[in-house]
């Protein structure tokens, strides 16, 4: 081991005692990377691109662009920008994103070369490349991982998410979908797929006069296919299957991730999501029965939502078409048990998604599902695979002396939307169905990360009224800038081809579906502008998980609260200890950052609530996700929803879930108007090793606030409490990288 590598390891190991060691380790690693690249002949940015192109890694277009403007582009490189990286972020870039020689596996680009290469891969001029590079090198904005992996590459698959409609209920249709999923997954896309159209177990097969085995055997095959395709060797494939709760196989569907029972009826690689109509939730609320149908008998239900669905569903009941009837609360309780035991079986709401979408102005355009990470909501059909290209603004990089610098935030958003739109034209599509949908609708998904950093920096507890007000304003400012930029693009290049089929063409924007949202002269001017120009993009804002790119940017993930003040990240790059630097700063100022306090934080597994020496205001500010009332997270999401025209990857946290608490929590989310929710996280994803902590009687930790009643219904509805659920951990940090 070289002296520098030993110094890197020592600095990284000292991050808990002094978070500045993270920057020290990062600077040393940057030197190591520069030496490694120099050994491959890389001194300047243009060297990097030339050599990578010679090795078949970069497209001719990229090489020609850089060669033509080599002097200008080389001068753009700001190696000092490496100092902005934390060690974990730079190590992630080094291990996962930098181009490597196909034989020696040595890096062919330095971190700033990588960022400028991505910018050049999306740009038409050096000025454009400089604009995007400035944002990325400043860690103010980052595209999602597929774009970072592939911009400028020979196969520029830049899209993050693919959504496939349910296969036709026939052998050829199902196997056709398998092939599409495999091709999409090969090129690093996260897959969402509905399975609602496929007939249920016991359904008559007229051609053979036999009976169907239902959806489980088909999903077992899909499960094996997803596991076999490892996305170019970078990570394993990932997919989420959506099913509507009226499907007669729904109970077997909810058992697919169970760790007990018949293994032949389990799928351990697929994620599961419930695509829930309002009618089901109303019957749960009223404690009524719920009818299950074979989609072969009631195929119309898949393509209906809102009142049309309710009328058709009730008519099918009246006509005696149900396979069987169950108490709605019993099925809902089974959904909650699946969530509690596996974190899976995500609750996503069909009617809210369709009712407010710009794409669903015409009856033939229906949203049938969300994506792998529940933030994308787009129309699908047998011939159209929905696609989305993602990127996220780092809110922490937009703080100024007076708080959030909204003028700078708007400028960043406008640049980001322009380049997200560009990816639609430059991207390679693994299937013709994906190409057809993306060029027709031109959707993009601009999200955020670093909201927790903003709250910490401005001293706002996550559940404070001030935090709610600021979060909502941030969402509104982003929406105004994003829609304005899309209108500008429409004026220059034309509206997207399906604009005349959207609500915007009818004079209705997403905010218009929500009372009191989108008010004021700026919104009025925007509406008038869009009436003249149209929109370049049918959908624009979506809040994705951002776990990987937030690590690169050195901020907290998307809209999430912190899961711990001290935790160990386990990734493909190794194990990394991370500490809340805002907490450390505050404790230092008070003379409290002592070995004894650090040991107490370790004993508390990252919580500070049990430490008597820490002032109450710091305990309130630095509560973890497990110690916050989940109602506050739902309220924050509901307040920003008018300005998010797609969805939000909203994780909810409950250390020791029960069916009753979960039932109330998700009923509250539905009533609040959320379109989707994501994982239920049942306990901290990573526990801190305590082998270096002196043996002592551990302080008693208070019951986390997250375990308290999540809404008034929790206390008022004891009949919802069925049984305690089994807590489990969710320790798969690689699952949503397509959206990061």
Structural tokens at position 575: 């194990």
Catalytic, out of 150, 344, 354, 371: 371
Helices (H) and strands (E) counted in the chain, each on its own, are 28, 18
Tally of CA atoms within 13 A in the half-sphere of 517 that contains its CB: 24
The whole-number pLDDT of residue 547 equals: 87
Instruction: Give the three-class secondary structure for 515.
Output: coil
More confident residue, 416 or 182: 416
Bridge partners for 731 per DSSP: none
364 is catalytic: no
How much is the pLDDT for 663? Answer: 95
To the nearest whole number, what is the mean pLDDT of the chain? Answer: 88
Helix, strand, coil distribution of the chain in percent, nearest 5: 50, 15, 40
Which one of the listed residues 161, 240, 373, 555 is annotated catalytic?
373
Catalytic residue at 373? yes
Length of the chain: 740
Residue 732 confidence (pLDDT)? 35
Lowest mean pLDDT among 362-371, 691-700, 716-725: 716-725
Owner of token pair 């991207």: 427
Q: How far apart are CA 452 and CA 234, in angstroms?
A: 29
| Beta strand 680-681 pairing with 161-164 | unpaired
Task: Answer for the pair 576, 569: CB distance below 8 angstroms, yes or no.
Answer: yes
Which of the four pLDDT bands, split at 50, 70 and 90, describes residue 227? confident
Model pLDDT for residues 166-224, shown as the tens digit of each residue: 998 888 888 898 888 888 888 766 899 999 999 887 676 666 656 677 888 888 888 88
**Whether the Cβ atoms of residue 443 and residue 538 lie closer than 8 Å to each other:** yes
CA nearest neighbour of 277 among 303, 259, 295: 303
Any residues with CB less than 8 A from the CB of 246 and at least 6 apart, and which?
277, 280, 290, 291, 292, 293, 298, 301, 313
Answer whether CATH 3.20.70.20 is correct for domain 3-158+393-533.
yes
Question: Is residue 651 annotated as a catalytic residue, yes or no?
Answer: no
For position 91, what pLDDT does the model report?
A: 94
Look at residue 617 in the predicted model and tell me its pLDDT: 97
Say which residues have a Cβ less than 8 Å from residue 297's Cβ, sequence separation at least 6: 203, 316, 321
Kindly report the backbone phi and psi dihedral angles of residue 204, in degrees, each rounded to the nearest multiple of 5, phi listed first: -70, 130
Q: Quote the pLDDT of residue 728.
A: 25
Q: Which two tokens stand for residue 129?
A: 């490349």
Candidate from 186-190, 316-320, 411-415, 586-590 with smallest mean pLDDT? 186-190
Least confident segment among 137-146, 372-381, 517-526, 697-706: 697-706
Lowest mean pLDDT among 104-108, 556-560, 697-701: 697-701
Compute the average pLDDT of residues 497-515: 97
What predicted TM-score, i.e. pTM, was given to this entire model? 0.91
On the question of pLDDT at 706 being above 90, the answer is no
Query: Looking at residue 208, what is its pLDDT?
Result: 64
Half-sphere exposure of 229 (CA within 13 A, CB side): 24
Q: What is the pLDDT of residues 620-670, one digit of tens each?
A: 999 999 999 999 999 999 999 999 999 999 999 998 898 999 999 999 999
Domain borders along the chain are 3-158+393-533
Q: Which residues lie below 8 Å from residue 271, measured CB to CB, with a gap of 6+?
A: 238, 239, 240, 241, 344, 346, 372, 735
Rounded CA-CA distance 515/501 in Å is 24
Rounded percentage of the chain residues whose pLDDT exceeds 90: 74
Catalytic residue among 86, 255, 375, 560: 375
Q: 439-458 pLDDT, tens per residue?
A: 999 999 999 999 999 999 99
Interval 69-80: pLDDT, tens = 999 999 999 999
Alpha carbon distances (Å) from 165 to 58, 276, 361, 387: 33, 16, 19, 12
568 falls in which pLDDT band (50, 70, 90)? confident
Q: What is the DSSP string of 38-101?
A: HTTT--SHHHHHHHHHHTT-B-HHHHHHHHHTHHHHHHH--GGGGGG--HHHHHHIIIIIS-B-
Q: What is the percent of the chain with per-residue pLDDT over 70, rounded to a whole number?
A: 88
Any idea which of 371-385, 460-474, 557-571 has the lowest mean pLDDT?
557-571
């Amino acid at each position: 081991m070289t002296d520098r590598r030993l110094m890197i390891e020592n600095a990284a190991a000292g991050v808990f005692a002094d978070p500045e060691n993270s920057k020290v380790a990062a600077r040393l690693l940057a030197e190591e990377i520069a030496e490694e690249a120099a050994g491959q002949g890389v001194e300047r940015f243009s060297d990097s691109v030339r050599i990578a192109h010679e090795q078949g890694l970069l497209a001719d277009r990229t090489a020609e662009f850089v060669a033509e403007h080599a002097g200008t582009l080389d001068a753009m490189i700001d190696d000092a920008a490496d100092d902005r990286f934390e060690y974990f972020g730079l190590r992630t870039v080094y291990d996962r994103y930098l181009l490597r020689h196909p034989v020696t596996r040595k890096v062919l680009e330095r971190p700033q070369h990588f960022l400028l290469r991505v910018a050049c891969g999306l740009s038409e001029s050096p000025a454009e490349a400089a604009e995007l590079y400035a944002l990325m090198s400043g860690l103010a904005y980052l595209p999602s991982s597929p774009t970072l992996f592939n911009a400028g590459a020979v196969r520029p698959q830049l899209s993050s998410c693919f959504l496939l409609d349910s296969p036709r209920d026939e052998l050829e249709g199902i196997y056709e979908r398998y092939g599409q999923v495999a091709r999409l997954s090969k090129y690093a896309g996260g897959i969402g797929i509905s399975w609602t159209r496929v007939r249920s177990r016991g359904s008559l097969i007229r051609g053979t006069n036999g009976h169907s085995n239902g959806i489980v055997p088909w999903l077992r095959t899909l499960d094996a296919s997803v596991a076999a395709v490892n996305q170019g060797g970078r990570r394993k494939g990932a997919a989420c299957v959506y099913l509507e709760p009226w499907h007669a196989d729904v109970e077997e569907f909810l058992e697919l991730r169970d760790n007990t029972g018949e293994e032949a009826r389990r799928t351990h690689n697929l994620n599961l999501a419930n695509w829930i109509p309002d009618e089901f939730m109303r019957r749960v609320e009223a404690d009524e029965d719920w009818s299950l149908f074979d989609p072969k008998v009631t195929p119309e239900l898949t393509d209906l939502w809102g009142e049309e669905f309710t009328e058709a569903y009730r008519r099918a009941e009246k006509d005696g078409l149900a396979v069987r009837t169950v108490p709605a609360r019993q099925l809902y309780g089974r959904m909650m048990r699946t969530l509690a035991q596996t974190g899976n079986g995500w609750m996503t709401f069909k009617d809210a998604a369709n009712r407010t979408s710009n794409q669903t102005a015409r009856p033939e355009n229906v949203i049938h599902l969300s994506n792998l990470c529940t933030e994308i909501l787009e129309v699908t059909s047998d011939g159209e695979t929905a696609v989305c290209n993602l990127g996220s603004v780092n809110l922490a990089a937009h703080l100024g002396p007076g708080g959030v610098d909204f003028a700078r935030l708007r400028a960043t958003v406008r640049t980001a939307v322009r380049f997200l739109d560009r990816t639609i034209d430059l991207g390679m599509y693994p299937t013709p169905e994906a190409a057809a949908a993306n060029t027709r609708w031109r959707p993009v998904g601009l999200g955020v990360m670093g909201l927790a950093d903003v709250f910490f920096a401005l001293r706002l507890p996550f559940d404070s009224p001030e935090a709610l007000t600021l979060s909502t304003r941030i969402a509104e400012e982003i929406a105004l800038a994003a829609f304005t930029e899309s209108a500008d693009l429409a004026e220059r290049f034309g509206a997207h081809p399906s604009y005349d089929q959207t609500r915007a063409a009818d004079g209705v924007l997403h905010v218009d579906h929500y009372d009191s949202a989108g008010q004021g002269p700026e919104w009025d001017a925007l509406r008038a502008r869009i009436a003249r120009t149209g929109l370049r993009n049918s959908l624009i804002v979506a809040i994705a998980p951002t776990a990987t790119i937030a690590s690169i940017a050195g901020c907290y993930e998307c809209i999430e609260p912190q899961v711990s003040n001290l935790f160990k990240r386990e990734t493909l790059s190794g194990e990394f200890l991370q500490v809340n630097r805002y907490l450390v700063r505050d404790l230092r100022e008070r003379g409290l950052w002592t070995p004894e306090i650090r040991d107490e934080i370790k004993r508390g597994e990252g919580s500070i609530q049990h430490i008597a020496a820490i002032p109450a205001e710091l305990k309130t500010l630095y509560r973890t996700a497990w110690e916050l009332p989940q109602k506050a997270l739902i309220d924050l999401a509901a307040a920003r929803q008018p300005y998010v025209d797609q969805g939000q990857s909203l994780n909810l946290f409950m250390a020791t879930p029960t069916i009753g608490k979960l039932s109330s929590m998700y009923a509250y989310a539905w009533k609040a108007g959320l379109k989707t929710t994501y994982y239920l996280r049942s306990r901290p994803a990573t526990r801190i090793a305590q082998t270096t902590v002196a043996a002592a009687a551990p302080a008693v930790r208070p019951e986390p606030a997250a375990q308290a009643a999540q809404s008034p219904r929790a206390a008022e509805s004891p009949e919802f409490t069925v049984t305690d659920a089994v807590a489990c951990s969710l320790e798969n940090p690689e699952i949503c990288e397509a959206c990061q």
